[in-house]
Amino acid sequence: MVKKIGILLLFILAGSLGFYCALKNTKPKSAPLVDGSMRTYHYPSSFANSLKNDPKAGEKIYREYCAACHAPQPMIDINAPARGNKVLWQALKQGLGEEGLWQYTLMGHNAMPARGGCFECSDEQLRQAMQYLENAQGMPLTESNTP
């Protein structure tokens, strides 16, 4: 009898410990820094929910998704046109037009993934991110983002 109660107590203890750990683990963890002060975390659906009615959605999507490749000093260095490289973006806009850039953003282009990797973003949010990326002003040209 005593043994049974002991085992039962052990189960209750282990169960509550598991529950406590699960509760503590629900918060997003921070990950490496990209493009200055940004911190990313990868809970895409809660991230997408947090963007609703946020006037800074474009910038936040850029930091969460696009910056990995499009930051002036990107984490993934595969020659994506850098944010703030005005000369290059002007040429791209002239060559492809806003609509052409939009089609590439939607469908991907060479190493550029479809929707920039943000499959949870609405079209409108994605367009805001694209505009944030292509219209950056006043960032100095550095060696890594000159054409």
* Phi, psi angle pair for 99, to nearest 5°: -70, -40
CB 134 within 8 A of CB 93: yes
Least spacing, CB of residue 141 vs ligand HEC, in Å: 18
Is the Cβ–Cβ distance between 116 and 131 less than 8 Å?
Answer: no
Closest contact distance (angstroms) between CB of 26 and ligand HEC is: 26
- Residue 110 CB neighbour total at 10 angstroms: 9
Cβ proximity to ligand HEC, 16 vs 146, nearer residue: 146
Least Å from the CB of residue 132 to ligand HEC: 8
Comparing CB distances to ligand HEC, the nearer of 44 and 117 is: 117
Residue with smaller CB distance to ligand HEC, 4 or 77: 77
Report, in Å, the least distance between residue 30 CB and ligand HEC: 19
Positions touching ligand HEC (CB under 6 A) are 61, 65-66, 68-70, 76, 78-81, 92, 101, 104-105, 109-113, 116-118, 126, 129-130, 133-134
Please, which residues have CB within 8 angstroms of residue 25's CB and are 6 or more apart in sequence?
none
79: exposed, middle or buried (Cβ count in 10 Å: 0-12, 13-18, 19+): exposed
